[in-house]
Amino acid sequence: MMILSRLLGCQEQLGFLHQSKEELTDSHPVVCNRNILVELEEGVGVAVMKMKSPPVNSLSLDFLTEFSISLEKLENDRGCRGVILTSAVPKIFSAGLDIKEMCGKSAEHYAEFWRAVQEMWLKLYKSNMVTIAAINGNCPAGGCLMAVSCDYRIMAENPKYSIGLNETQLGIVAPFWFKDTIANTIGHRATERSLQLGLLYSASDALKIGIVDELVPEEKVLNAAAATMSQWLAIPDYARQISKSMMRKPTLDRLLTHRESDIQNFVSFVTKDSIQKSLQTYMESLKQRKG
Ligand SMILES: CC/C=C\C/C=C\C/C=C\CCC/C=C/C(=O)SCCNC(=O)CCNC(=O)[C@H](O)C(C)(C)COP(=O)(O)OP(=O)(O)OC[C@H]1O[C@@H](n2cnc3c(N)ncnc32)[C@H](O)[C@@H]1OP(=O)(O)O
């Protein structure tokens, strides 16, 4: 009953979670945190993590910390073998890193923020669980990093949605582990072009280039993710996990080896006057586009 009332509390607050009371039974334990709703279907061993931080699910320090803790809890739960990552905010998967966390703050804050970004990626990329991104909205930069860190991506076939690492368009640079993660997905040449030009791909172009694995009508994204999940879970965990680790370990080890210098690089990069100016100009352009 407590679970039910907590979730209903969130629904009232958000007003856009489309679950009926009947669907919400105690066989679906729900943890409703500030930024992420985690629902574990125990019999099936699959959790759905719904990002719910309006307006754009930007990855703030608070969000990233909650994400890493939630994922770690699922990782340590023997009853959970797979995670579907999706959004409860209409039209947005995630707008990427919260730009406000990278503007006008202290060097200590930037270091803490970047460590949290690293932690989110390390936990997601090395997860032993099957991870599927159900991309039901726009997915730039850090949002794209989250998606390409999953094992499989299903995107809504909506021509208004795009996905990609657009950092250069903000005058900033995707660090080596963003680059490695996307290169592991789409290959070296496509990554080179994609990173230099800061390309955001439409859903259909994303499928062509291989950033996403499948497009489905928007209302079918979650069902398609659940169907793919059951295929992946049919493989014995141990064999699948070792295969995943074999593919991903060199990329993970590279950041683990250079973690502190990567934080130093970020801090010295983001504290430059020219970079602060670029980020502020970009934030203003987002606001102007609105008006
Ligand atoms: C030598 C150097 C070598 C190596 C480098 C070393 C280190 C690395 C250094 C830096 C690496 C940084 C890596 C950065 C990664 C990132 O993720 S940066 C974030 C990039 N994100 C974007 O570009 C997306 C921007 N947003 C949008 O395009 C749109 O908002 C949207 C398409 C997602 C949604 O559009 P709408 O629905 O129309 O919503 P609005 O645009 O009106 O936005 C609503 C509201 O939200 C604010 N907002 C949007 N995005 C962000 C964000 N990412 N962070 C913070 N806030 C955001 C927007 O301003 C609006 O605010 P209000 O006007 O309502 O106050």
Q: What is the pLDDT of residues 214-269, one digit of tens each?
A: 999 999 999 999 999 999 999 999 999 999 999 999 999 999 999 999 999 999 99
C-alpha 20 to ligand 1 mean position (Å): 33
**Predicted pLDDT at 11:** 39
276 lines ligand 1 (CB under 6 A): no
Look at ligand 1, atom 16, and give the residue with the nearest C-alpha.
97
Quote the pTM value: 0.92
Contact present, 54 and 46 (Cβ < 8 Å): no
Measured distance CA(105)–CA(167) in Å, rounded: 20
Tokens 């407590």, residue located: 2
**Rounded to an integer, what distance in angstroms lies between the CA atom of residue 52 and that of residue 3?**
17
pLDDT of residue 291: 62
- In single-letter form, the type of residue at position 220 comes to K
Ligand 1 in reach of 266 Cβ (< 6 A): yes
CB 86 within 8 A of CB 50: yes
Catalytic residues: 97, 142, 166-167
Index of the ligand 1 atom closest to the CA of residue 97: 17
Residue of the CA atom closest to atom 42 of ligand 1? 290
pLDDT in tens, 20-43: 333 344 457 788 789 999 999 988
286 lines ligand 1 (CB under 6 A): yes
The closest of 212, 46, 197, 56 to 129, measured between CA atoms, is 46
Predicted local confidence at residue 5, as pLDDT? 35
Domains and CATH numbers, the chain: 33-290 (3.90.226.10)
Is the Cβ atom of 180 under 6 angstroms away from ligand 1? no
CB contact set of 58 (below 8 Å; sequence gap of 6+): 94, 95, 96, 97, 98, 99, 100
* Low-confidence residues of the chain: pLDDT under 50: 1-26
ipTM at complex level: 0.98
Helices (H), the chain: 2-14, 61-75, 107-125, 141-148, 176-186, 188-197, 203-209, 221-233, 237-257, 259-270, 273-290
The CA distance from 175 to 267, in Å, is: 12
| φ, ψ at 45 (rounded to 5°) | 80, 25
Q: 100: Cβ below 6 Å to ligand 1?
A: yes
Strand order of the sheet with strand 30-32? 30-32, 36-41, 46-51, 82-87, 130-135, 152-156, 214-216
Sheet of 201-202, strands arranged across: 91-92, 137-140, 162-164, 201-202
Strand, coil or helix: 19 = coil
Give residue 29's pLDDT: 76
Test site for ligand 1: of 100, 269, 286, 290, most ligand atoms within 8 A of the Cβ = 286
Pairing of strands 36-41, 46-51: antiparallel
